[in-house]
Each structure stands twice: as structure tokens, then as C-alpha cells.
Structure 1
């Protein structure tokens, strides 16, 4: 049970739920519980009571500030409340005492009248500063009330005021009632909380979408001929993990099926070699005649098919290459070897290179076989009296161009599939271009076919992804 709960940490839903609960818990405390606890109790006060309460608060705060930082607090004469009271009450007087420093616009009448001055002297003679005295005195007079406040432990704090007959208008917020106050205080906070929750959902969703795109990109990069790679399961959300595992299982099954098919074709081709060799030997012992020549030709074509199948299987099973191959030397050798075939069909075979040397990491024999298949295919389609042009550009691109009928409406991508013959009456079994595609793909390149602008077909082989260009007078770069 604990393990199942722990595994939920990878779940997209669990992550969203946990972060949402944490956010809402913090919002509930910050925007509801704490503001309600700090909300003052709304009471109805008279203007006189509100004025005296605020005046006492201003005088008391000034005394405390003056005791802590002498000379730092703003002057009482500039306080807006004091000025408003003085404007409405010409006889208003106040006296403030912090230790031996006195402030105000009047004399300390009640300080002397009630003996606070003598009490302060007594406290100064007491050795123990923990002994304190505190007193507040209300003095009713002619329809209003004067006030005196005395406090002393080790230092004196005192203020008094007289002549506050008329209250001043105090700007206080009116209570809105329980429901109205809650709505006024928390409606904006609710919108803030809702926006925060939305941002959390959007952030987590975006992160998982990016993870999905990463997995999709890796899936697109898997080579169908190399199914040993699998999609990563680490860092994937629990909701997506079953899909990733199912795809990996499917990849494994397809890879196993391809291996079985490759093994079957390879084994069948190997097993066919021996009986074909025996059959051809026996045919050689027959008496000469047209029938014998026809049978030997059929056996020769079957042997060629078996050899092509074995070549295709061996290339498909390879995973890496070693060595270096000079494309210039390979192109010259292929054109030289096939020049006799071209002469017999009345076709001119030409090779042209833009660089004297161009080396790439690869198997020279396999690359030569691929170029030879392309040139042989071009010769077979080239009309008598035309040319087949083999070229190598400065960036390592090989082109084989003929002036035949071209590709027509055939899809160029299907030409490189095994046993595909767009023209059924041509010789061969449709394996030559499949072998070319397998060799080029093994070397990290690509091969393409297209109709030439002025007639014929052009096949392009590009090794630019892993080329190493070496000039005529340079040493090999590794």
C-alpha cells in the first residue's frame, strides 16, 4: 500500500492534486482564516468617543517613540488630528512629558494638581526600577471631559489634555456586516487563488506535454531496420507509462519478427546455393543444345538472385562500419569496370569529380557495390547513342544520370523496396536498388531518385552527414 502511494508521485493527476491542495491550503489560511481572525469587531461609537480615543492613541504613541528615540518623532503640532482639534477648539491645551523632556501648547495643570510630580520624585529615590506606578484620571468639566495619563517605572511617561469641547470628524470605515465584509475582503483574493490554481494546472500540463513531445521525437528517430532502441520509461508520467511500455513491447515483437524473417531468408538463400551449384554442374554434363543453354541461363539467374538476397541480408544485419573509402577512386573503378558493358549497348559512360580526393568513413567494397548497381541500372535504361554521367560534387554528393525514359509516374520512394520492378519486362528481380538503399543507409546517408529536367532519370547519393573531405595534398583526418 505504501509503495503504491509512493508511486503516485509520478502521476500527472497526483502532482496536480497535491500542488492544488497545498496552494488552496495556503490561500485558505492567508486569505480567509487569518483576515477573519484579524478583523476588528465593529462597534458603534459617538463622535466624541472616537475623537478622544484617537487623540489618546496619538499622544501615547508619541511618548513611546520619544522615549525610544529622543528627538526623532515628528512634532505633535504638525499631526493632522491635533491641528483639526485645535481648529475647532480654541481653548484646547495638551502637555506631554517623556522623562525630563516636555512638549505641548499648555502647562502641566493636572500633573501638579494630582501630585504626579511628587510621585515621580518618589520613584526616582527608589532603588528598584521594577516598582512601577500607573494612573489615568478623567476630569469632567463644563460638559466635556479632560484627561491625564501617568506611567512610571524607571522612566516617566505622561500626557494630559484640556478643553476638548467639540469633536472632529474622524474618517473611519463603516462596518458592512458579516457577509458584506467577507465579500469585500475576499472576493479579490478568491480571484487571485483561482488564477494561481490555473497557473499550476497550466505549468504541470505544459511540462508533461514537453515530456510527451520528447518521447514522440525519440519514437520518430527509431530506424525501422534497427529496432534495438526503446522509448525511455524514466521520467514519464504514470498515465503515459502504459502506452510507452506497450510501444516498447510492440517494438520488441517487430524486431523479433524481422530477425526471424531475416534468418529465414538468409538460411534459405544459403541452402539454395548448394543445389544450384549441383544443378549447374549436372547441366554442364549434358549434350550441347538450345535447351541446355536455356537451362544454364535460368540457373545463372537463380544464382544471381540468391547472391543478391545474401548480400541484402548481410547488409541489413550489420550495425557499424569501419575503415575509409575514397569516393573518387570508387567512382573511377566502377566506370572502368562497367565501361565494357556500356560499350556493348552503345552507351557512353563518363565520370566527373569536382575534387581530386574525397574520403568518408565506410566500407569501400560496399559503397562500390552500391554505385555499380546504380550505374548498371542506368545503362540498362539508357538508349543507344546516349550517355550515362556519374558525378561527384565538392560536398560528397554522387549523381548517376541517364537519358532514358525517366521514372514517369512511378513513386520514387517505392523504387528502393525489394522485388519492386516498375517495368516488368526488364531484367533482374528488383533487388539492386534495395541493396543500394541498404548500403547507403548503413553509412548514414540517403539515396533519392527523380526525373531529370530535360529527360531521363537521376539518382542522388549523399553522405554529407558523416563525410571527411581530404584534399589531394592533405593527410587523412581522423
Structure 2
């Protein structure tokens, strides 16, 4: 049933609608200009008697053979082997015919009417004419109980003569005939109409295909627009005027979304900046308090708020950047992160292992940002990894880095949603869900890709792919 659904969905296509309308137009045109006028034409049916039709065909065959011998004797062939002559002879055993061109004679019997009706004398008289180009001709039709006969005499520069006799029984004539008036009329009008309609359809389809190519080009550009970078608009040049309002509406929408994102980014950035100073003052005042459980709890809360503000500022600064320059050694950046997290891993009872296929894997990018992305993944892995397990950081030659832990994984959560801001796969876990959002922003800024999956034997695996 899938193909039926695809056919049904095809009705929404402009090309399919054009094809249906063209078919309806062709059907109406054929009926109005061809079928109906043809049906209104008077029909005349002339059915000749079978014997008369047979004689007409025999005369045509003998006359054509005579003309062929006169014009090209080498292409005449054998008249006695003609299919019609054989059929007539089979039905009429006494049938005889005679053909003469000049001094050459053909047939299955001697002439019976040439002298009887005076054609021989007419030949002698014609030869006495002062101008031999004067033509003399005559014919004789015979009908009788013994059979029908016919003789045709013509003499200009050369004598051409044929006759037949004793034709009693007709034969079935099944020879293709040229189209009559109705057939010629049908071909002339329907052919021209179909040719014109087909030409119009071809022109329309060509123009439509060119516009469809333009639409696909615009759609491809629209798909390539980065939601985080809405400074690029759809091109209006070269777009059909019918599609231009849609393109301008999309560009207007892109501008509005970009303005809204800029306002939101500015608000979050300004709020984070404004929060830094009060948090610093608050932490300083808390440090002056007497030691105690309440002080430690308040200091911890301020520390977490400060970390949140710093993460928001980092996320905003990455989002505001449009490109990165320079090159960095991915293997060296990963090694630096592992050295910096060695004490944290030791306190958590977790081992860190770096596995790189090469000592140096150079990729285009900002070393500080890439180290920040790796650090966020390693921190997540350490926080989820059980004691006594290993967090493995693997790097291949194609600029791909994988961080694997043996923790509980992220369950049934959509892997793509993990990289959204404030996404927390474990509700009881401390933090604000900005670490992976920062990782995603850094990877997108470098034109890379990120992915996450649950490993079958336990744990989660995060992969970052950078252009090498």
C-alpha cells in the first residue's frame, strides 16, 4: 500500500496538477475539434460487386506492370508470379492475359482481342502519322456468360497494350488502401492539435522545471542556515517573481528571529555580568563570618551560583563568535585536560586513560575552547563513573575524540536533547545542565559534530568530531 500512498500524495505536486489539467484539455480538444466533427461528417459507402472489384484490381496490376516495363525493364519482374494473378488463375482455369510493350510481350496466352477489335490496324495507321508524338488510345470492355474481358490500347512513341479474358469468378480482395477523406481529415486535424498541445505542455514544463530548480536551490540554502548564525539571508536574485514574496517573508522571519536571539543573548549576558559583582561581594562577606555549618553551606551555594554565571557567560561568548582561527593539537589538549583532572579523578576513585593513535593530531581550531569542551566531557564522566572504574579518552587520526565512562548512562533520554541548555538526565544530580550545552556550542563553532550513546556493557560514550 506504500506505492498507493505515494501516488495519492503526488496529487499535491504542481507538476502533477499541470499534467492532469493538460490531459483534461487534450481530451476536450480531441472531442470538440476531432471526434465530434468527424462523427457529423456524412458517410458514403460505395460497395462494388465482387467481380467488378476483382477486374479493377487486375487492370491496376497489369497497367502498373506495363508502365514499369516501359520505364525500367530491368525492374519489371515476372508478372505471372504476382499474387493477385495467381489467385485469379486458381479461381478461373481459363483466365488468360497478355501484355505488350513495344516488341516485348508477356502473359500466359496469345492476344485474342488485338486483331479482333482492329487494334493492329490502328497501330499501322498510327505509324503513318507525320508526327509520331501524337497519341492514339482506346479500350474495350467485354461482358458475357463465358466470362468478362478487357483490352487497353495506347500508342505514342511506343505501343503499350494489355488484355485479359474469361474472368468468371471473383477473388477476395484484401489489399491495403490509402486513407480516405475521413482518415486524412482525422490525421490532419488531430495531429496538428496534439502537436500544438504537446508543444505548449513542453514549453510550460521546461519553464516550470527551471523554476523548480530555483526553488530547490533556495530550499538547500535555507537548510544550510545555522540557527545560531542568522546573519545569512536567502538570495532574492534569480528567483521567479511568483516565489519572491515567499523568499522575502522567510528573510523577514529570519531577521525577526535573529533580533529576538540577540535580545535574549544580550539579556542573559548582561544579567550574568551584573550578577558577578553582587556574588563576589556576598562571598567576601560570607568569608568574614564565623566558621560553622551554616557558613559552609552558604559559601557552597554562592560558589555554585558563581559557576552558573561563569558558564552562562562562557556560553554567551561562544555563541557570539562567528569563526575560529589557528590550529591546535587535539592530542596535546586532551593530555593537558587529563593532567589537570588527575587530582579530581583520584579523589573520586576513578582512573583516567588517554588513548591516541598518534602523538600529534592537528586540527583547525581554538585550543582554549577545545580544551574546555574536553574538560566538560571528562568532568561529566568522572562525576558519573563508579569508584574503581576507568574513564577512557580516545583520539583517532580523523580528528575524532571519544570519552567513555562505565556509569549508569543517560537512560531513554534523546541524545540530541542532552546538548540543550539546562538539560539534566539525572534529576538528583547537582549542576545546572550547561556543561554539554557549552560543548555543543564549541563543536558547532568549529564546524564539527557531536553524538552520545549508551554502551551495551554499561556507561555512556560521547564523541566529538572536528575537521582535521
Provide the TM-score with structure 1 as the length reference: 0.70
Distance 1:235 1:456, change over 3 A: same
Per-residue CA distance 1:64-101 (angstroms, 9 max, x = gap): 22223213123122223333444555554322123443
Closer, same or farther: CA 31–88 of 1 in aligned 2, 3 Å: same
CA contact (8 A) 1:269 1:306 kept: no
Structure 1's 116 and 234: CA in aligned 2 closer, same or farther, altered over 3 A? farther
| TM superposition shift of 1:159 | 1.3
Q: 2:3 — aligned with what?
A: none
Q: Is 1:62 matched up with 2:65?
A: yes
Q: Is the 8 A contact 1:324 1:361 kept in 2?
A: yes
Distance 1:120 1:90, change over 3 A: farther
Equivalent-residue separation in structure 2 for 1:168 and 1:363 (angstroms): 103
- CA drift at 1:436: 0.8
Task: Report if aligned partners of 1:324, 1:364 keep a CA contact under 8 Å in 2.
Answer: yes
Residues 121/448 of structure 1: CA separation in 2 closer, same or farther (3 Å cut): same
Query: Match for residue 126 of structure 1?
Result: 131
Question: Who is 1:245 aligned against?
Answer: 246
- Counterparts of 2:50 and 2:155 in 1: how far apart (Å)? 31
Q: Is 2:93 the counterpart of 1:74? A: no
Q: Which residue of structure 2 lines up, in the alignment, with residue 117 of structure 1?
A: 123
SS of match in other structure, 1:71:
helix
| Distance (whole Å) between structure 1 residues aligned to residue 219 and residue 400 of structure 2 | 28
Displacement, 1:278? 6.0
Whole-Å Cα distance in 1 between the matches of residues 239 and 69 of structure 2?
62
Contact 2:318–2:442 (8 Å) recurs in 1: yes
Which of 453, 457, 460 lines up with 1:450 in the alignment? 453
Higher relative contact order (CA 8 A, sep 6+): 1
Taking structure 2 as the reference length, what is the TM-score of the superposition? 0.71
**2:224, 2:320 → 1: CA distance?**
19
Aligned to 2:17: 13
SS at match of 2:66: helix
Q: In the alignment, what sits opposite 1:264?
A: 264
Pairwise CA distance, 1:375: 0.9
Go from structure 1 to structure 2 and tell me whether the alpha carbon gap of 1:48 and 1:401 turns closer, same or farther (over 3 Å shift): closer
Deviation at 1:326, TM superposition (A): 2.1
How far off its partner does 1:23 sit?
8.4
How has the CA–CA distance of structure 1 residues 107 and 136 changed in structure 2, closer, same or farther, with 3 Å as cutoff? Answer: same
1:344-383 residue pairs with structure 2 within 5 A? 344-383=347-386
Aligned to 1:170: 172
Distance (whole Å) between structure 2 residues aligned to residue 68 and residue 255 of structure 1? 86
Aligned alpha-carbon RMSD (Å): 4.7
Q: Within 5 Å, which residues of 2 pair with 1:46-195?
A: 46-87=49-90, 89=92, 91-112=94-115, 113-114=118-119, 115-118=121-124, 120-122=126-128, 125-126=130-131, 129=133, 131-139=134-142, 144-161=147-164, 163-171=165-173
1:250 deviation in Å? 5.8
Query: Which residue matches 1:288?
Result: 288
Aligned equivalent of 1:7: none
Do structure 1's residue 308 and structure 2's residue 311 form an aligned pair?
A: yes
Alignment of 1:189-208 (within 5 A): none
- Equivalences, count: 422
Distance 2:315 2:67 in 1: 97
**Distance (whole Å) between structure 2 residues aligned to residue 133 and residue 274 of structure 1:** 125
Q: Any unmatched runs of 5+ in structure 1?
A: 1-9, 174-180, 468-478
What CA deviation, in whole Å up to 9, does each residue of 1:180-228 have, x standing for no partner?
x99xx99xx9xxx9xxx9xx9xxx8xx99xx799699947766544554
What are the Cα deviations for residues 314-351 of structure 1, in whole angstroms up to 9, with x where unaligned? 43344544333321111111112222333444433332
Q: Give distance in 2, aligned partners of 1:85 and 1:146.
A: 13
| 1:401-426 Cα shifts (integer Å, max 9, x gaps) | 33444334544333221112233454
CA–CA distance in structure 2, aligned partners of residues 443 and 122 of structure 1: 112
Distance (Å, rounded) in 2 between the aligned partners of 1:34 and 1:424: 83
Q: Is the 8 A contact 2:272 2:313 kept in 1?
A: no
For the 8 Å contact 2:92–2:168, the answer to whether it is kept is: yes
Q: Secondary structure at the match of 2:341?
A: helix
Corresponding residue to 1:342 among 318, 340, 345: 345
Deviations 1:111-142 (A, max 9, x none): 4413331355256x527x5x544322234566
Cα deviation digits, residues 236-293 of structure 1 (max 9, x gap): 9x8xx69x938x8468536633541343233442354255236625764787115777
Deviations 1:23-43 (A, max 9, x none): 886899999989999x99543
Does 2:328 align with 1:322? no
In terms of mean alpha carbon deviation, does 401-410 or 23-32 score higher? 23-32
Q: Which residue of 1 aligns with 2:11?
A: none
User: Is the partner of 2:75 in helix, strand or coil?
Assistant: coil
- Structure 2 distance, partners of 1:170, 1:149, is 24
More deviation in 354-363 or 283-292?
283-292
Any conservation in 2 of the 1:215–1:231 contact (CA below 8 Å)? no
